[in-house]
Structure 1
Amino acid sequence: MKLLRVGEPGAETPVVRDADGTTYALSGLTGDIDGPFLASGGIERVRAALTEGSLPAVDTAGRRVGAPVARPGKVVCIGLNYRDHAEETGAAVPERPVVFMKDPSTVVGPYDGVLIPRGSVKTDWEVELAVVIGREARYLESPAQSSDHIAGYAVSNDVSEREFQLEHSTQWDLGKSCESFNPLGPWLVTPDEVGDPQALGLRLTVNGEPRQDGHTKNMVFDAPYLVWYLSQYMVLRPGDVINTGTPAGVALGLPGTPYLREGDLVELSIDGLGTQRQSFRNA
């Protein structure tokens, strides 16, 4: 299944798209796709309702698409999680996951405009596989347990301001938490439809020019391992998002490649998870 939210910011309504591409309203089951919905078995209720044929079809053509999960409690990010990305930035391949946090209010819809911060000269792109938590994960015993705690997967653009990130502070958060810096979606795709999360191609273009063309099989630490690992240090709660890292091809790692400027158009996609498109403008 593909879960999504349509409507203007703050007034999105939840819908589901089945394997045939038909969209159905979920307003009779839930007010939103959020942590409480995921924690209470919401996905299972949607699946049962689809099987029963009790959901009304709805036309969403022309409507804005919001982030597929509302108000994530936290966005946890993994840095340098692709060998080729670590190499292009001159960093060593990490022996343990590099973890940092991103302000959850940065999460916006997959087609919303992104604001280039005031004073920015190094706003960068990063296509990433996002993991959405569906069940509380606390001190998991092994990565094999992680699948029981994953609600699904989505496309994420971990937009970054490199000067803020690397030159203004010893921490990365300043370059990661600018407003609108985490387009997410269009869909939350359930694990049964995704299959192996380490078998997905990722792509990103800027103004039609290819920049990133990677594959999740090249992640240093795979998605189940990351859920397990993070659960040893923090409680992962339903609705939380994990950005699992980006492959090579970011501006930081491509000398001479311009960073993003007002009017640039970024398009990114992951196999089976859909496509995003953002226009960048100055804040």
Structure 2
Amino acid sequence: MRFYRAVNRNGFRLLARTDAKYHDLTAANSSVTSIRDLALAADISGRSLDDTAMNLLEDAPVVSLVEFDDEITTPIAAEEVWAAGVTYRISEEAREAESGMPEIYLDVYEGDRPELFLKSTPSRTVGPDDTVGIRRDSEWNVPEPELGVVLYRGNIVGYTVGNDMSSRSIEGQNPLYLPQAKVYDRCCAIGPCVASPETVGDPHNLEIRMKINRDGELVYDEATSTAKMVRTCEELVSALNRHNCIPQSAVLLTGTSLVPSESFTLQEGDCVSIDIDRIGRLENTVTTV
């Protein structure tokens, strides 16, 4: 199943999509208004998200998204969003080129310990059809399309689409500027849904495609596959959990393999669209922050 979080006049609702139908799980059980609620029930019963949701479907009315004024929000109110870097060869090469310090990125790409950093908090994270930010003090800004691993109590419960916005000119000045290049207002987008592991299947065999439109013109269109990741999702999650008490609900972005050329930078008003097989499309416009 795919799970969406929506808002209407009655507050937050958790919707489950089966085929082309949306079922209002919150109408079936008012205690279930989020993925966290569903994951808690699944954890208590020792079942998957899909099996837990199936118990609610009979009493969950089929709804139209029009009822929610198209207000689909971040699919999970993740207390923390973390990100992994240098998990694809092209990412390692791009980071080398921007910094002029190739050895530190090559060491991470080939090393046992992955690069992990705290990417975003709830106030900095936006959902589908919202605006993502580029820093006013950065001359080179790019989106980074990534598979997001959704965690509950440190365990994988689903997957989502993520956009790890990056100020490459700031990071390129000095690797110690990474937090400023990565963490700022509207620096991260996730959505449009959480797809269950049963829906996704093998997370290491998914096509990721990113398109960028500017003034009605397609200025970027490339695709890659998660099969090119040098590390598995399980490896990254294991490293994140090691000696680190992450919050109950979290998302881990797994790195990017789509890197626009050095001559490209985002502009205000651009539209970034990211599609991942069996999950969905995350679309955001760009604003300056």
Q: Normalized per residue, which structure has more helix? A: 2
My pick for the range that moved more, 125-134 or 103-112, is: 103-112
Matched residue, 1:63: 70
| 2:138 counterpart of 1:120 | yes
Cα displacement string for residues 137-176 of structure 1 (whole angstroms, at most 9, x for unaligned residues): 3xxxxxxxxxxx2110000001111233343761412111
Pair 1:153 & 2:145 matched: no
Gaps (5+ residues) in structure 1?
Answer: 138-148
Q: In the alignment, which residue of structure 2 is the partner of 1:204?
A: 210
Letter in 1 for 2:211: T
Stretch of structure 1 that moved more, 53-62 or 228-237:
228-237
Shift in alpha-carbon separation, 1:11–1:262, aligned structure 2, 3 A:
farther
3-state SS of 1:38 partner? helix
Query: How do 1:1-283 residues align onto structure 2 when only pairs under 5 Å count?
Result: 1-7=1-7, 11-18=11-18, 20-27=19-26, 28-29=28-29, 30-41=31-42, 43=49, 44-50=51-57, 53-61=58-66, 62-70=69-77, 72-90=78-96, 91-92=105-106, 93-95=109-111, 96-105=113-122, 106-134=124-152, 136-137=153-154, 149-167=155-173, 170-207=176-213, 208-250=218-260, 254-256=261-263, 258-283=264-289
Task: Read off the aligned partner of 2:93 and give its amino acid letter.
Answer: E
What's the TM-score, normalizing by structure 2?
A: 0.83
State the one-letter code of the partner of 1:108: V
Cα drift, residue 211 of structure 1: 4.5
1:31 Cα offset (Å):
4.6
- SS of the equivalent of 1:65 reads coil
Equivalent-residue separation in structure 1 for 2:79 and 2:133 (angstroms) = 22
Gaps (5+ residues) in structure 2? 44-48, 97-104
**Distance change >3 Å, CA 94–CA 64, structure 1 → 2:** farther
Give me the whole-angstrom Cα distance separating, in 2, the residues matched to 1:89 and 1:218.
Answer: 17
After superposing the two structures, state which structure 1 stretch, 40-49 or 182-191, moved more.
Answer: 40-49
Q: Is the 8 A contact 1:67 1:109 kept in 2?
A: yes
Which structure carries more strand by proportion?
2
Report the aligned-residue RMSD: 2.3
Question: 1:259 and 1:11, CA in 2 relative to 1: closer, same or farther beyond 3 A?
Answer: farther
Give distance in 2, aligned partners of 1:7 and 1:168: 42
CA contact (8 A) 1:24 1:58 kept: yes
Question: CA offsets per residue over residues 100-127 of structure 1, 9 Å max, x none?
Answer: 1112222211211123333232221100
Q: Can you list the C-alpha shifts for 1:46-76, whole angstroms capped at 9, x where unaligned?
A: 12222xx221111113512111102x12111
Who is 2:102 aligned against? none
Give the 3 Å change call, closer, same or farther, for CA 114–11 of structure 1 in structure 2: farther
* Secondary structure class of the residue paired with 1:184: strand
TM (norm. structure 1) is 0.85
Write out per-residue CA displacement over residues 60-93 of structure 1, whole angstroms, 9 at most, x where no aligned residue.
13512111102x1211110011112212332422
- Which residue identity does 2:71 align to in structure 1? R
* Equivalences, count: 263
SS in 1 for 2:116: strand
User: Partners in 2 of 1:248 and 1:268 — Cα distance?
Assistant: 11
1:180 counterpart SS class: coil
